[in-house]
Amino acid sequence: MNPELLRNIWIELTERRLTLMVIIVACILVVAISPGDWMSAAHTAELVFYAVVVLWGTRCAAQSVVEEIGNKTWDGQRLSAIRPWTMVWGKLVGSTILAWIGGLLCLVVILYQAYRIGGVDNLAMQAGYFLAIGIISQAAALLASVVAVRRRMSHTRFDVFLYQLAGLIAALMVWRVWQTVDPTSLFRSFTGGVDPFTVSTVWWWGGSFDPGTFYLASLAVFLFWVILGNYRVMRRELQVQNGPAVWLVFLVFVAAYAGGFDFWRDYIRDGAFMTGMRAVQGGIALIFVTYVMALVEPKEIVAYRWLIERFKARQFISLLARFPAWGYAYLAVVVLGVLAIVMLPWSVAERANVYGGPMIVLAALGFVLRDCAVFMAMGLGQVGKRSDIAALAILALLYGFIPGMFSQVEGATAFFYPSEHDPSWLNPLAAWAQALIGWYLILRRPDLRRRPQS
Amino acid sequence: MIEVRDLVYEYPTKRALNGVSLTIQPGTITALVGPNGAGKTTLMRCLAALEMPYSGQVLIHGLDTRESPREIHENLSFLPDFFGLYDSLTVRRCLTFAARAHGLTGSAVETAVEKAAARVGLTDRMKQKAAELSRGLRQRLAIGQAIVHEPKVIMLDEPASGLDPDARRSLSALFLELKASGLTLIVSSHILSELEDYSDQMIIIQNGLMVGGQAVALSENRISYLVELAAPDAGFAAYLERLPGVTQATLNGATAQVWLDSPERRAGVIRAIVSDGYPLTGFAETRRTLEQTYLEETGKAAR
């Protein structure tokens, strides 16, 4: 048996805890079932499932590594021969095992009701959804905590809550999307059966898909990526080197997934224009990935000094092997940005109902690079949350407060975010000038340019 | 064998290790000493593949810490200064987890657990929870966890802190026993007298560098003899160096210090001195302490 799983079982599944969990959940379910209204009982079971598996399970997952750091046992784990994958699933299943036992009791009621109203097909769909939301939320919380561990942050209870929040946000997204396709959903039970976001068909890469099947398939793929993400971060934490190949495949997946949605199929007929819009969609998704990684990746002076040295020594293979994930994500944004610039029509008239064109894309590339400079300037050499908060505050100023102050000045917003202006070159020029100045100042930092003495 | 080549480790504003190169032979005990902040713990963490160096290479039994950290951990243990235990687990479960986490399976686990518990004197406390143990017993349990899978290399940072004199003596005996069974030990401590009993060589780390550029062998030249005459004799040291078995002799007034290639030579040397007519008034064994060696080596480096 996986030693990490076994250790977690020893700690988590004590007789007392197990008995308490079973009694409490069983009592709630019995009370819910007793009036004989199975729909209402299933909704109660669903709520208990979310409370136990999602709310408490994410807390357990977020704590699993952090608690070991607090108890000074994590170095022992890092010194063990447990392989990264074994560690990931040992922690993911082991730390949440008690929550899952409570959740499985709820699933009995939920799936019985699903079978009653929709047969085996509905039962399988519901089982897939509930397992997915549980595992995705817990895996996201674990991922957030291990990423934070790599940054060597101190871990207060509030920090653990933030890691848990990552799991809860993932769960909320999964839940909300699922509510749109589930006719018996909890959401509809509160809105009288109406869900404004319900779609009858999902259009993706020119094909039409049943929403339920599409969302379940998407969930399965995202589940795969979040588990793989855990594995990759755990590898780094256990000192096993990661090459960039998997990350690059993930970036291609994100671009292809986001770019595949045919939002414009009723407006755009031209193939090149459509390709340009797909590149924009994929690029926007990758910009989100770039920001997330620029925020959460460790920004260690020594690591960046090492990269600069490799660059100067023209050791590009070594450089690319340890190139930061946000850097690769930005390069992917640039590739899609260039594709969009080439494919999108330059004339406003040709763009019909679509806002923005090549110059806005060019400006967006500059602003994203500028924002990465903000993350770096604030985060380099810092280990706490303050640097993240400072970076986010600066971005809030740049995108909200300052443009608001100059809202009456014509053309002023060109200096702050991608927008259409006359002359059209003003916006990209302002963006790239800020980006280049920002990066020039960062690369001039003495602690990046000079190695310390002993 | 442990090989370290030109190891550099940097913090943002300090170079903790500045090109350390060393070789540690298997089956030896190496004392790692140096002032606070010298880089001892960083060196140990690099050797244990817990930290990746800026440059340089660490090979543990031929495996590179950059390429095979998890494989290295199957045969290596490191007990940090500040360690933790799973407080809610019993001693038996702590040892069982440590054994399984290092790749032991099946019946080998139980055998290893019993053996480790016996070695650290915890056999009668197997059902006790780690949280219920005293500080000394927790230290023993941590050492038990470190040796349960019988690694080829064990590194210990301040292993005797918190132990009473009896426990320290048993720890020294345990180290010698582990060494006798072929293990390589690296022990870091501020208390030099503690390292005295079992160390074969000493590595002094100062300002991120290895003092003297190599390990100082401690087994050689540690024991010498003071030969006292009734009156000073300027040619006495040269005379002593001509005697069979004498490797070195120095003179200070009427007292000479001699180093022999074997303790068995003592009788022959005394006999020769007396029979050659020197007024011998005393012959006593003396040991150079680790502290003296440390001060000599760091003094040389300062010069």
- Alpha carbon separation from A213 to A181, A337, A448, B125, B165 (Å, rounded): 9, 31, 50, 57, 70
Residue A84: asked if its preceding bond is cis (omega within 30°), the reply is no
Q: Is residue A380 part of a domain?
A: yes
What CATH number is associated with residue B43? Answer: 3.40.50.300
pTM of the entire structure?
A: 0.85
pLDDT, residue A340, reads 93
Report which of residues B79 and A158 the model is more confident about: B79
| Domains in chain A, number | 2
CA A154 remoteness from chain centre: 22
pLDDT, residue A394, reads 93
What is the DSSP annotation of A171-237? HHHHHHHHHTT-TT-HHHHHHTT--TT--S-EEETTEEE-HHHHHHHHHHHHHHHHHHHHHHHHHHH
Strands B201-206 and B29-33: parallel
pLDDT, residue A352, reads 62
Average the pLDDT over B76-86 and give the result: 90
Q: Is residue A99 part of a domain?
A: yes
**Chain B CB within 8 Å of residue A446 CB:** no
Q: Is residue A243 part of a domain?
A: no
Specify whether A96 is located in the same domain as A139: yes
Average the pLDDT over B102-106 and give the result: 90
Specify whether B283 is located in the same domain as B196: no
Longest CA pairwise span in chain A (Å): 76
**Chain A CB within 8 Å of residue B87 CB:** yes
pLDDT, residue A115, reads 92
pLDDT, residue B259, reads 87
- Using the 8-state DSSP alphabet, how is residue B215 labeled? P
Of A234, A250, A274, which one is at a domain's C-terminal end? A234
CA B77 remoteness from chain centre: 15
Of B177, B202, B217, which one is at a domain's C-terminal end? B217
Give me the amino acid identity at B58: V
Q: Is residue A79 part of a domain?
A: yes
Cβ–Cβ below 8 Å for A452 and B52: no
pLDDT tens profile A4-40: 999 999 999 999 999 999 999 999 999 988 888 888 8
Q: Is B13 helix (H, G, I), strand (E, B) or coil?
A: coil
Q: Which residue of B has its CA nearest to A237?
A: B50
Residue B84 sits in which domain range?
2-217
Q: For residue A399, which of A367, A376, A425 has the smallest C-alpha distance?
A: A367
Cβ–Cβ below 8 Å for B70 and A300: no
Out of B39, B54, B82, closest to residue A306 by CB: B54
Cβ–Cβ below 8 Å for A81 and B208: no
Cβ–Cβ below 8 Å for B101 and A4: yes
Q: Is residue A108 part of a domain?
A: yes
Specify whether B33 is located in the same domain as B163: yes
Specify whether B196 is located in the same domain as B253: no
Q: How many contacts does A have with B, using Cβ atoms within 8 A? A: 103
Specify whether A206 is located in the same domain as A305: no
Specify whether A82 is located in the same domain as A195: yes
Out of A6, A11, A447, closest to residue B12 by CB: A447
Return the minimum-mean-pLDDT range out of A184-198, A233-247, A397-411: A184-198
Of A201, A234, A267, which one is at a domain's C-terminal end? A234
Cβ–Cβ below 8 Å for B18 and A454: yes
Specify whether B242 is located in the same domain as B192: no
Q: Which residues of B touch A3 (CB under 8 A)?
A: 97, 100-101
Q: For residue B72, which of B112, B45, B43 has the smallest C-alpha distance?
A: B45
Q: Measure in Å the smallest separation between the Cα of B93 and chain A Cα atoms.
A: 8
- Alpha carbon separation from A104 to A21, A58, A250, A444 (Å, rounded): 11, 16, 32, 57
Return the minimum-mean-pLDDT range out of A242-251, A280-289, A396-405: A396-405
**Chain A CB within 8 Å of residue B35 CB:** no
pLDDT tens profile A66-75: 889 888 899 8
**Chain B CB within 8 Å of residue A72 CB:** yes
Of B217, B248, B274, which one is at a domain's C-terminal end? B217
- Alpha carbon separation from B80 to A5, A74, B32, B171, B187 (Å, rounded): 24, 11, 13, 16, 10
Q: Which residues of A touch B84 (CB under 8 A)?
A: 68, 71-74, 76
**Chain A CB within 8 Å of residue B239 CB:** no
Cβ–Cβ below 8 Å for A454 and B208: yes
Cβ–Cβ below 8 Å for A83 and B70: yes
Cβ–Cβ below 8 Å for A241 and B49: no
Q: Measure in Å the smallest separation between the Cα of A201 and chain B Cα atoms.
A: 49
Specify whether B55 is located in the same domain as B198: yes
Reply yes or no on whether the pLDDT at A353 is more than 70: no
Specify whether A108 is located in the same domain as A177: yes
* Residues ≥6 apart with Cβ < 8 Å to A446: none
Asked if the ipTM is above 0.90, the reply is no
pLDDT tens profile B87-98: 999 999 999 999
Specify whether A223 is located in the same domain as A266: no
Cβ–Cβ below 8 Å for A452 and B69: no
Q: Which residues of A touch B50 (CB under 8 A)?
A: 75, 78-79, 239
Which 3-state string (H, E, C) describes B17-63? EEEEEEEECCCCEEEEECCCCCCHHHHHHHHCCCCCCCEEEEEECCE
Reply yes or no on whether the pLDDT at A188 is more than 80: no
pLDDT confidence of A349, banded at 50, 70, 90?
low
Q: For residue B146, which of B197, B194, B75 has the smallest C-alpha distance?
A: B75
| Domains in chain B, number | 2
Q: Which residues of B touch A83 (CB under 8 A)?
A: 70
What CATH number is associated with residue B242? Answer: 3.30.70.100
The angle subtended at Cα A81 by Cα A79 and Cα A87, nearest 5°, is 90
Return the minimum-mean-pLDDT range out of A44-53, A98-107, B73-82, B283-292: B283-292
Q: Which residues of A touch B145 (CB under 8 A)?
A: 76
Return the minimum-mean-pLDDT range out of A82-86, A95-99, B69-73, B141-145: B69-73
Return the minimum-mean-pLDDT range out of A208-217, B164-173, B252-261, B290-299: B290-299
**Chain B CB within 8 Å of residue A449 CB:** no
Q: Which residues of A touch B103 (CB under 8 A)?
A: 81
**Chain A CB within 8 Å of residue B89 CB:** yes
- Alpha carbon separation from A366 to A282, A342, A415, B224 (Å, rounded): 17, 17, 11, 75
Residue A369 sits in which domain range?
259-449
What is the DSSP annotation of B218-242? SSTTSEEEEEEESS--TTHHHHHHH
Specify whether B22 is located in the same domain as B162: yes
pLDDT confidence of B294, banded at 50, 70, 90?
confident
pLDDT tens profile A408-430: 887 788 888 888 877 888 889 99
Specify whether A288 is located in the same domain as A410: yes
pLDDT confidence of A341, banded at 50, 70, 90?
very high
Could you say which residues from 40 to 59 on chain B have a Cβ atom under 8 Å away from some Cβ of chain A? 48-50, 52, 54
pLDDT, residue A101, reads 95
Q: Cα separation of A165 and A225, whole Å?
A: 19
Q: Is residue B69 part of a domain?
A: yes
Q: Is A7 helix (H, G, I), strand (E, B) or coil?
A: helix
**Chain B CB within 8 Å of residue A149 CB:** no
Specify whether B207 is located in the same domain as B250: no
Out of A10, A79, A454, closest to residue B78 by CB: A79
pLDDT tens profile B204-261: 888 888 887 778 877 655 678 899 999 898 899 999 999 998 988 998 889 999 988 8
Which 3-state string (H, E, C) describes A312-331? HCCCHHHHHHCCCHHHHHHH
